[in-house]
Amino acid sequence: MAGTAIEIRDVTKRFLTPKGEVFTAIRDVTFAVEPGRFCAVVGPTGCGKSTTLSLVSGLDRPSEGSVWVGGKEVDGITDGVGFMFQADALLPWKTVLQNVALGLIFRKVAKKEAVERARDWIRRVGLAGFEDRYPHQLSGGMRKRVAMAAAWITEPRVLLMDEPFGALDVQTKAIMSNELMQLWEGSRPSVLFITHDLEEAIALADRVVVMTSSPGAVKQVFDIDIPRPRGSVQEIRFGSRFLELHHEIWATLRDEVERAYARTAGV
């Protein structure tokens, strides 16, 4: 167990559909993330990527197999884990400051200290001056920054990200990715990053896990040996090693994407 931050062992997750049928979201998934490593999971829609994350966070329990975080089996909400959701998950009735401080307040940090640290994080994600705004008064990119600060403020050892920048426009996404890299290289938590964007996965990650669809299973794991620091996300993708890796992984991923597409289009 020592030496891994996240370990997923032979995990299967089934759901009961409202019609009473059993639906297998992921089957026999096994992979691990080492401490301080950035692992991206790519796959077509409906391959159980989000299910995997909710199992690691403890929001859901596996039907079979086990999930281990920091050497402990996950049972209930995992401690020391930060989560960035795909959709907006900020509390709309709380200001930016209150949202960012939330994780500390829940951990019973004294209010004054919580506010101070929240202000510091708001400054770090470039939102100084917006402390008293409500989420609806911010743009999509700004809300993501708030979510990022809220997830990082508790200094998690493990960070789970579920297509965090999926809803952003291309430019904002690139800026956010660069900022994420800077933060990550500062404190180096282990990251499990889910995306359907292969370029994003290769640019950010040390390791890319390709999943098959319905039921989700690990198809192949690729190590990304582009040296760090890699510099701006927009430029990495013109490097020759990046192109090679992209070519190689895409060949694997394409079958899955096409199969998933044929299934939904064929019905």
Partner 1 sequence: MHSTNDGSSNGMLSGLEQASQSAGRLGGAQKALHDRIASGQQSMDERTHQASVAFRRRKLKVWGARLAIAVIIIGGWQLFTAMGWVDKFFYAQPSGIWNRLWDYFQNGTEFGSYPDQIKTTMQEALYGFLIGTGVGIVMGVALGLNRFLAEVLDPFIKVVNAIPRIVLGSIFIVAFGIGLTPKVLLAAVLVFFIVFFNAFQGVREVDRNVLNNAKVLGASRWHVIRHVIMPSAMTWILASLHSAFGFAIVGAVVGEVLGAQQGLGLLIKSAQGNFDPYGVFANMFVIAALVLIVEFVIERVERRLMAWRPKVQSEAVLV
Q: List interacting residues with partner 1 (CB under 8 A).
A: 54, 57, 59, 77, 79, 81-83, 85, 87-95, 102-103, 105-107, 134-137, 150, 154
User: Cβ–Cβ contacts within 10 Å for residue 14, how many?
Assistant: 14
Q: Which is nearer to partner 1, 54 or 178 (CB)?
A: 54
Here the tokens at position 238 are 């013109």
Pick the closer one to partner 1 by CB: 48 or 135.
135
Q: Hey, is 134 helix, strand or coil? A: coil
Least separation, in Å, of the C-beta of 257 and partner 1? 26
Name which of 69 and 208 has its Cβ closer to partner 1.
69
Question: How does 36-74 read in b/e, with b if 16+ C-beta sit within 10 Å?
Answer: ebbbbbbbbebbbbbbbbbbbbbebebbebebbbbeeeb
Give the count of beta carbons closer than 10 Å to the beta carbon of residue 85. Answer: 16
**Secondary structure tally for the chain: helices H, strands E:** 8, 10
The least CB distance from residue 120 to partner 1, in Å, is 18
> Is residue 112 packed enough to be buried (19+ CB in 10 Å), middle (13-18) or exposed (0-12)?
exposed
Least distance in angstroms from the C-beta of 230 to partner 1: 29
Residue 164, token pair as written in the block: 């965090």
- Positive or negative CA dihedral for 70, 76, 97, 87? positive
> In whole angstroms, how close is the CB of 121 to partner 1 at the nearest point?
13
Report in angstroms how near the CB of residue 30 gets to partner 1 at its nearest: 24
Question: Which of 57/213 has CB closer to partner 1?
Answer: 57
- Is 85 or 250 the residue whose CB approaches partner 1 more closely? 85
